[in-house]
Amino acid sequence: MPMRVHEVHPALAHFPVALLPTAVAADLIGRLTNNDSLMDMGRQLMPVAAASVAATGIAGFAAQEAVKTSDVSHDILVTHRTLNIGLLALSVGLAAVRSRSRRPSTGYLLAGLAGAALVTYSGYLGGRMVYAHGVGVTPADGIEPERTPEVPHDGFGRAARASASNVGQAIRHTAQEMAEGQIAPRFQERPPARESTAG
């Protein structure tokens, strides 16, 4: 079955959702029980979790430009994206801190638990875009077909070029929207829509 460019992101999203909480849980239980094997597992898993966040984020940028959004679903998308940028910074920081210590500190564990909550909530927002608003769903007219070719039917080269173009566009749109103050519009009140009056 062929896969479109925008479908790579949800396929990869399961990895950070599973790996980051597992790394934190292994460290937490390992520290509470003084189990060196579990703490070693947590230390080794966190860089893998951070890498999975990065890969999923790149795929998310490619997907962002290939899907259609409405006002509400666009706000969810922007909030989801901002949370994931923060999650990437946090997970890279956690991996760096953890690589230098044999035992996880209390601060590390608290930050890790916050990261686990963040990845869970961000995943919820991603699902909300799809299941409540039809973003990325072909029968709901939720994609830009020319920006999300099928693989292998349309060729890997075309898919790679479309993905690279989408990532570039997504980074530009992200910078523009952040400059306009659109950081987490899901948490900001949207002004009421104006009613049009017949002239």
pLDDT tens figures, 113-151: 999 999 999 999 999 999 889 999 888 888 888 888 877
Here the tokens at position 148 are 């999300």
Find out whether the peptide bond into 152 is cis, omega within 30 degrees of 0.
yes
Please count the other Cβ atoms lying within 10 Å of the Cβ belonging to residue 150.
Answer: 16
Residue 51, Cβ density class (10 Å: 0-12 exposed, 13-18 middle, ≥19 buried): middle
**199 pLDDT above the threshold of 50:** no
Average pLDDT over residues 41-61: 97
Would you state the pLDDT for residue 158? 85
| Main-chain dihedrals φ then ψ at residue 150, nearest 5 degrees | -85, 140
pLDDT in the model for residue 197: 41
- Mean pLDDT over residues 181-196, rounded? 67
Please report the pLDDT score of residue 190 as a whole number: 61
pLDDT in the model for residue 191:
53
The proportion of the chain whose per-residue pLDDT surpasses 90, expressed as a percent, equals: 70
What distance in Å separates the CA atoms of residue 182 and residue 173, rounded to the nearest whole number?
Answer: 11
CA 18 to the chain's CA centroid: 13
pLDDT at 63: 94
Where does the pLDDT of residue 1 fall: very low under 50, low under 70, confident under 90, or very high at 90 and above? low
